[in-house]
Amino acid sequence: MVSPDDLKIKKTSLQKMLDNFIKTKEEEDYCDYCKNEETFESKTMLSKLPEIIIVICERFQEKNGRFFKVEYIVDYPEMIDLAQYMFNFSKIEIYLL
């Protein structure tokens, strides 16, 4: 049997993908009030979780106007603690995958 290491296929994990999605991003926008370009930080957080979570991974990535297929093997745990991605950390949410 051929392993992913033999094929040089990149590996990632669901945890790394969530960390990348949630990370703080620096953005710029025009401020109508002060009439300047302003730099600000934004961070996506989850406020409430549903009973069922569906994670959709992008299969294609754009680079220089062309699309390439993303070939990753994604490792995911049987259970995941999503508390660190919640806006309110006091409630613990653990899901079976």
Per-residue CA distances from 2 to 7, 8, 71 (Å): 8, 11, 16
Kindly report, residue by residue over 61-94, the tens digit of the pLDDT: 888 888 888 888 888 888 888 888 887 655 555 5
pLDDT of residue 96: 54
The pLDDT > 70 percentage for the chain reads 81
Q: Determine the residue type at 86.
A: M
Q: How many domains does the chain have?
A: 1
The identity of residue 67, as a single letter, is: F
CB 85 within 8 A of CB 95: no
Q: Which domain holds residue 44?
A: 4-96
Q: Tokens 């409630």 label which residue?
A: 91
Q: What is the mean pLDDT of the chain?
A: 77
